[in-house]
Amino acid sequence: MKEASLPALTKQWQSAILDIVSDGIWDWDANTGYVYRNRAWYVMLGYAPNSFENTVFTWESVIHPDDYARVMEHFDNYIRRKTDHYNIQYRCRTSNDDYVWVEDKALVVEWNKDNSVARMIGAHRDINTEKLFEEKNQLEKLSLQAVIDVRTDELSQVNEELKQKMLEVERLVNTDALTLLSSRYFFDKKITEEKARSRRFNEPLSLIAFDLDNFKPVNDKYGHISGDMVLTKVGELVLKNIRKIDVAARWGGDEFVLLLPNTNSDKAVLLAEKLRKLINSQTGIKEFFVTASFGVTQLLDKDDLKTFIKRTDDALYNSKNAGRNQVSSL
């Protein structure tokens, strides 16, 4: 007697099964950027189901900052076939801004012809109780005096003061004091990270550079205080019109740059044109009215950082040579 075969699962059944699994299941379509997460994934971290965008940004945004680099290195090594498995433990942020430990296991199930990832599936398991138990056991191994020393009020106070000082130094280093945009130092660090990120997830990355046209007369005629007012106003305008994942920085003087993750050049040109019009419509200092010239480009497969930035500068100079107050892309 011939054995009856099981019917193939429909997408509806697949979705239903994933939603009743207790682990947090995720499914990444690398070619489209879409990430499916089941109901248990949200419940495990205390979020309402489907309350996040279905992108890799959601995953990255909940990873503990101290674990992020380690996780990305492990992820890169796996999708580049330097290791034959993906299995890592790290902390994820909950809806209460606490962190829980998870174990993340995954497998690439489809590859593109160029050996890049096409599809990858995985599961997050809550191991927070296990981790807390491990920490408890470790503390019990310490001598009573060691535990008392670690937990003294004096040490806690010193650590808190040191933490606040470090945060203030970090803020000063990463932020331009005048415009409150990112500093050039912070931008240089982020463009390196985002280039690697773009390669990792096969997502577009665009860069906008712009500066104010004929800005020098403002300082010469009305003084540097007036010039600073113009720069501050431009900084405020930029911050109001970009996403949280975008990085806007003051490059120097009256020059600005915007780094746009997961954004192609067409969308970047639209943003540049929007900013150009907004800057052009702002009330100036006395009879001086601000205009700006823009250059836009998208990261190419062959680009290193120097080439990427230079092509943006070339596009900016094209705008200036063509009469200023316009957007050019390369």
pTM exceeds 0.85 for this model: no
* Same domain for 197 and 111: no
Choose among 51, 48, 25: nearest CA to 38. 25
155 in the same domain as 236: no
Per-residue pLDDT of 123-162, as tens digits, reads 999 999 988 888 777 767 666 566 666 666 666 676 666 6
For residues 239 and 121, state if they share a domain. no
Residues 234 and 312 in one domain: yes
Among residues 131, 163, 197, the one where a domain terminates is 131
| Domain assignment of residue 6, yes or no | no
- What was the pLDDT predicted at 225? 78
Write the pLDDT tens digit of every residue in 176-224: 888 889 888 889 999 999 999 999 999 999 999 999 987 877 766 677 6
Q: Which residues are catalytic?
A: 254
Residue 1, pLDDT above cutoff 50: no
Residue 263 vs residues 30, 117, 215: alpha-carbon distances, Å = 15, 20, 30
Statement: residue 4 has pLDDT above 70? no
Provide the pLDDT confidence category of residue 229 given band limits of 50, 70 and 90: confident
| CATH code for the domain of 247 | 3.30.70.270
Q: Which helix (H) or strand (E) holds 233?
A: helix 224-240
231 and 325 belong to one structural domain? yes
Q: Does 319 lie in the same domain as 222?
A: yes
Q: Residue 161 sits in which domain range? A: 148-174
Question: Once rounded to an integer, what is the mean pLDDT over residues 108-118?
Answer: 94
Residue 261: which of 178, 195, 209, 316 has the closest Cα?
A: 195
17: in domain:
yes
In this predicted structure, what is the pLDDT of residue 165? 67
Is residue 293 within 8 A of residue 314, CB to CB? The reply is no
